[in-house]
Amino acid sequence: MRIGVFVCQCGTNIAGTVDTEAVARRAMEYADVVYATSYVYTCSEPGQQEIQRRIKEMNLQGVVVAACSPRMHEPTFRRAVERAGLNRYMFEMANIREHVSWISTDKEANTRKAMELVHMAVAKLRFNQPLFSSKVPINKRVLIIGAGVAGIQAALDCSDGGLDVVLVEKNPSIGGKMAQLDKTFPTIDCSSCILGPKMVDISQKENVTLHACSEVESVSGYVGNFKVQIRKKATYVNWNACTGCGECVRKCPSRKAPDPFNEHLATARAINIPFPQAIPKKAAINRDYCLHFTKGKCGVCKKICPVNAIDYDMQDELVSEEVGAIIVATGFDLFDHSVYGEYGGGRYPDVISGLQYERILSASGPFGGHIRRPSNGREPRDIVFIACVGSRDASVGRPYCSGVCCMYIAKQAILTRDHLPDSNCYVFYMDIRSPGKNYDEFVRRAQEEYGVQYIRGRVGKIYPRGDRMVVQGADTLLGIQVEVEADLVVLATGVEASAGAGELAEKLRISYDQYGFYMESHPKLRPVETNTAGVFLAGACQGPKDIPASVAQGSAAAAKVQALFARDAIETDPQVALVNERTCVGCLKCIMVCPFGAIQSKTLRDGSIKAEVLASVCQGCGLCNATCPPKAIQLQHATDNQILAELNILCA
């Protein structure tokens, strides 16, 4: 083989701490290397042209680029060598930037290490084989998991683009957290007035199939051809018949069921429609509170329902859907403020979360939009907001900024002063984070126009005095201790990953960070893709986000899906396992370990049993390769010989 080696200087990123000229000179000594050079920016247009020119001029059969991480530029260089007529798999990369020049300043040691890494890449390349992709058709339907504002936006954009959409929502209604909000910052738009039309659109789109009260049970397959099982939870109401008239809700005698939509500030009936604008507007029975299920009597709803929709025998139903791409938009959960013992640990009814206050402000909320104290129903006069509850606090495992709290307390304080002009609003804050369009102006309005008093400092303690709450904190600007007597304390509870995020990630085979937020493929350049082809992210499941950012990411994910679906077939990755039938002994251990069911057995004409890989299903993990006793099954592009060749360099 004739191999060319290109050692990138990456400006001074590599050349600053690695002698790239020396690395190139040494490379000339390695077996099969016929050309080696050092270049200032190999990934640049002239850099790539230089590679292509040398391939033709020197008749190169393989290329090694020693540069940045292959996770960064491997696709770039593969395309470059392909343009010069080489197979794209006759290329190897040595990572001498992230793994060498950036982690040590010892130029001598770095240069030595870079030389060895290049040598390993050359040794591997000598065993490389040209590989060829095949094409598989794409199923042009998209699954969207989660129907908050991000999922809704993605669904509408995909639907407008003519795609069939399967939308799965865990709760009985779509809308997510935005449906619970009263107003939105910084425009003070009515939240349900701007979200409502989008929700109605979803229900009216003919190419959108909505599964509410449903969760994804399992996912198999690969980009272009996923198979998804969806569990439709039993609602005990036949939704095909239910008209959402609400007669059953009004007559239900069980009134103590929890009301998650109102953040448990009120109770609901055992049969309930979560809110007036719910989509789908259908009733569902809470089994744990329904007298029919708990006591074996009642049955009022069944008797009263004009369309005979009540079905006490209903079971969960599993629905299969086949899709070509998946958008994950599962949103977030609110931080549980009961962790803060000094703020009452959730024991004081007048110390509430930000979302609870949102329900109090809302006209569809428990108090019909009148601000009242949950403890005694009276109007509060002094209201304290506390920022960063469950944000920027490593002691509770939440060192990150939730991004929205500064803004939503400014909004809530403005609304409070609007509703109750005689009230006094205080905000305890650490720093004000308002980096959006018109955001900082909005916070200033709260301070200057609405007279909200901002106090910079942490609150140390909240305790009751009579029927009011005492808030003790520091004013770090004045350097004094502050004590405020309040009727109501609103904690700006932060954002955390939703409760089932980890489980769903396992099903989808996507990664999440230490806080449970899903990992994008690249933090800057691939913010909606995941590392699993065909799975995209939208909204706060990827990290704390406000509404405009969630909507933007919903649209971005939809655009990515449409770009994917613009082709009729996708190229498969040829880095898959391959069986050598002459050495396969037919033990079929590979079938047992394969996580994807990509291997099957076949009987040859002589009656012997052999393993066979379904190339389009194989994901290229190589489990089978490590398992196979006679090493008859080999992962292409990471064969035993290739890896051992790399190791041999290091053992010499």
Partner 1 sequence: MDQSAASGALVDSIRIIGFLCNWCSYGGADTAGVCRFKQPTDLRVVRVPCTGRVDPLFVAKPLIYGADGVLVSGCHPKDCHYAVGNLYARRRLEVLKNFLSFMGIDQRRFRYTWVSASEGQRWQQVVSEFSETIHAVGPNPLARK
Instruction: Give the shortest CB-513-to-partner 1 separation in angstroms.
Output: 5
E strand or H helix that includes residue 459: strand 459-465
Classify residue 220 by burial, with Cβ atoms within 10 Å: 0-12, 13-18, 19+. middle
Torsion 571-575-579-582 (CA) sign: positive
Instruction: Give the shortest CB-104-to-partner 1 separation in angstroms.
Output: 5
Note the Cα 424 to chain centre separation in Å: 39
Instruction: Give the shortest CB-544-to-partner 1 separation in angstroms.
Output: 15
Question: Using CB under 8 A, which of 100, 152, 179, 490 touches partner 1?
Answer: 100
Instruction: Give the shortest CB-632-to-partner 1 separation in angstroms.
Output: 14
Torsion 449-450-453-457 (CA) sign: negative
Interatomic CA distance for residues 68 and 76, integer angstroms = 12
**Which residues does 455 contact at the CB level (< 8 Å), separation at least 6?**
426, 427, 428, 429, 473, 475, 482
Cis bond upstream, residue 70 (ω within 30): no
Question: Using CB under 8 A, which of 25, 99, 381, 589 touches partner 1?
Answer: 99
CB nearer partner 1, residue 46 or residue 595: 595
**What is the amino acid identity at position 496?**
E
Question: Using CB under 8 A, which of 502, 548, 597, 630 touches partner 1?
Answer: 502
Instruction: Give the shortest CB-250-to-partner 1 separation in angstroms.
Output: 46
Is residue 543 a contact residue for partner 1 (CB under 8 A)? no
Residue 312: CB atoms within 10 Å: 15
Instruction: Give the shortest CB-316-to-partner 1 separation in angstroms.
Output: 24
SS (H, E, C) 548-593: HHHHHHHHHHHHHHHHHHCCCEEECCCCCEEECCCCCCCCCHHHHH
Q: Yes or no: say if 510 and 502 are a contact pair by the CB < 8 Å rule.
A: no
3-state secondary structure of 498: coil
Instruction: Give the shortest CB-597-to-partner 1 separation in angstroms.
Output: 12
CB nearer partner 1, residue 424 or residue 532: 532
Q: Which of 319, 155, 631 is nearest to 644 (CA)?
A: 631
Start-to-end Cα distance in the chain: 22
Question: Using CB under 8 A, which of 531, 580, 600, 616 touches partner 1?
Answer: 531
Question: Using CB under 8 A, which of 505, 579, 584, 633 touches partner 1?
Answer: 505
Interactions with partner 1, residue window 327-346 (CB under 8 A): none
Q: How far is CA 296 from CA 233, 287, 293, 302, 627, in A?
A: 21, 11, 5, 13, 55
Interactions with partner 1, residue window 31-90 (CB under 8 A): 69-72
Instruction: Give the shortest CB-281-to-partner 1 separation in angstroms.
Output: 38
- The number of helices, as runs of H, and strands, as runs of E, in the chain is 17, 34
CB nearer partner 1, residue 549 or residue 635: 635
Is residue 506 a contact residue for partner 1 (CB under 8 A)? yes
CB nearer partner 1, residue 159 or residue 530: 530
Instruction: Give the shortest CB-453-to-partner 1 separation in angstroms.
Output: 39
Q: How far is CA 375 from CA 182, 347, 358, 389, 485, in A?
A: 21, 11, 17, 22, 16
Instruction: Give the shortest CB-626-to-partner 1 separation in angstroms.
Output: 5
Is residue 102 a contact residue for partner 1 (CB under 8 A)? yes
Q: Yes or no: say if 404 and 544 are a contact pair by the CB < 8 Å rule.
A: yes
CB nearer partner 1, residue 105 or residue 315: 105
CB nearer partner 1, residue 291 or residue 643: 643
Instruction: Give the shortest CB-504-to-partner 1 separation in angstroms.
Output: 12
User: Mask of contacts with partner 1, 104-143, x by CB under 8 A?
Assistant: xxx--xx-xx--xx--x-----------------------
Instruction: Give the shortest CB-88-to-partner 1 separation in angstroms.
Output: 17
User: Mask of contacts with partner 1, 562-601, x by CB under 8 A?
Assistant: -------------x-----------------x-xx-----
* DSSP one-letter code for 512: B
* DSSP one-letter code for 403: S
Question: Using CB under 8 A, which of 83, 287, 509, 526 touches partner 1?
Answer: 509
Q: Interacting stretch for partner 1, rule CB under 8 A, among 238-246, 325-333, 451-459, 512-520?
A: 512-520
User: Mask of contacts with partner 1, 611-630, x by CB under 8 A?
Assistant: --------xxxxx-xxx---
Torsion of Cα atoms, 527 then 531 then 533 then 537, to 10°: -40
Indicate the pairing of strand 424-429 with strand 382-389. parallel
* DSSP one-letter code for 238: -
User: Mask of contacts with partner 1, 205-244, x by CB under 8 A?
Assistant: ----------------------------------------
Q: Interacting stretch for partner 1, rule CB under 8 A, among 325-333, 356-364, 483-491, 511-519?
A: 511-519
CB nearer partner 1, residue 4 or residue 543: 543
- Joined tokens for residue 296: 């074996």
**What is the amino acid identity at position 117?**
L
Instruction: Give the shortest CB-265-to-partner 1 separation in angstroms.
Output: 35
Interactions with partner 1, residue window 379-418 (CB under 8 A): none
By rule CB under 8 A, what count of residues binds partner 1?
A: 54
3-state secondary structure of 351: strand
Q: Describe the strand order of the beta sheet including 488-493 as a list of residue ranges.
A: 351-353, 488-493, 382-389, 424-429, 453-456
Interatomic CA distance for residues 179 and 573, integer angstroms = 42
Instruction: Give the shortest CB-144-to-partner 1 separation in angstroms.
Output: 22
Torsion 624-627-633-639 (CA) sign: positive
Interactions with partner 1, residue window 430-469 (CB under 8 A): none
Instruction: Give the shortest CB-516-to-partner 1 separation in angstroms.
Output: 11
Q: Bridge partners of 611?
A: 601
Contact positions vs partner 1 (CB under 8 A): 69-72, 95, 97-100, 102-106, 109-110, 112-113, 116-117, 120, 502, 505-506, 509, 511-514, 519, 531-532, 575, 593, 595-596, 619-623, 625-627, 635, 638, 640, 643-644, 646-647, 650-652
